[in-house]
Amino acid sequence: MRDFPSCFGENGVQVADSSSAAGKNAQNLVACVYQTRHSGRSCAITITWSRNLMGQGFSIGIDDSASHSLCKVDIRPWLFSKRKGSRSVEADSNKVDIFWDLTAAKFGSGPEPLEGFYVAVLFNMEMVLLLGDLSREAYRKTNATPPPSAAVCVAKKEHLFGKKVYCTKAQFCDNGQVHDVVIECETLGPKDPFLEIHIDRKRVMQVKRLAWKFRGNQTILVDGLPVEVLWDVHSWLFGPPVGNAVFMFQTSLSAEKLLPWSCSPAFRESHLQGLGFSLILYAWKNE
């Protein structure tokens, strides 16, 4: 299991390359990929929230259906104390307008705002992506027309930091419930290393004898959907102290894997819209 497949790149995500970054220098980062449409064409918009010693901010990358990069915009509102603003760029003969307001944004432990904000992306005055809970303010500011269909988050990539417990939130299907995801991995002590994963405080997976099963995959059930979990904790057990583990939760499953679950009462047609979501977590151990 050399690479985890994902929509963050054609070649997937390389697992546990600890030589590429030291744990103490790895920035706090969350990247989300949204599938949307403009002018009748499909495109992907990646929003990357980051925080490091140089400041805090976000970047926006836009790719068309052929995976051609249309534009990338870096915005550092904290670095320049500009938490509210707009920017316009040209992309493939289209005018792209980006509006943001983070003046009242509230944050948790990560770089991604939780509430009190909006980020809006417009193609030729049509709203193609709107994030945050201040949608009314965003439409008032932009005078944009609503999109024919809402953007869908298809992937999320996040760096987590901890000693043996790593926490995040994830929505595994479109319009589904936001779940608390907790990974607990004990690699030190007199007992054999073990790995546990909890969804909303319920244990859904346990791996014992982790020294022999430091890489693997297992299928769990979330929201009535089968979710395949892949893990690689080799660096934690056998690598240098600054190594990171990688976990992936993938709802894009083959028809063969979907078949055993298709008769479940919870497996409703609306859930099919959520298939294809990937959650990739890079877990770094605090010193």
* Cα–Cα distance list, 143 to 15, 65, 115, 137 (Å): 44, 27, 22, 10
Sequence-distant (6+) residues with CB within 8 A of 249 are: 170, 172, 181, 227, 228, 229, 278, 279
Is residue 287 predicted with pLDDT exceeding 70? no
Query: pLDDT for 79-100, tens place per residue?
Result: 555 788 888 888 777 888 999 9
Check residue 241 and give its pLDDT: 66
15-24, 188-197, 224-233, 250-259: which has the minimum mean pLDDT? 15-24
Check residue 65 and give its pLDDT: 64
Only one residue has tokens 């836009």, namely 62
Query: pLDDT for 137-159, tens place per residue?
Result: 999 999 998 887 888 898 999 99
Confidence of residue 180 (pLDDT cuts 50, 70, 90): very high
Q: What is the pTM of this model?
A: 0.79
Q: How many helices (H) and strands (E) does the chain have?
A: 3, 21
Average pLDDT on 15-19 reads 31
Q: What angle do CA 86, 68, 11 make, to 5 degrees?
A: 115
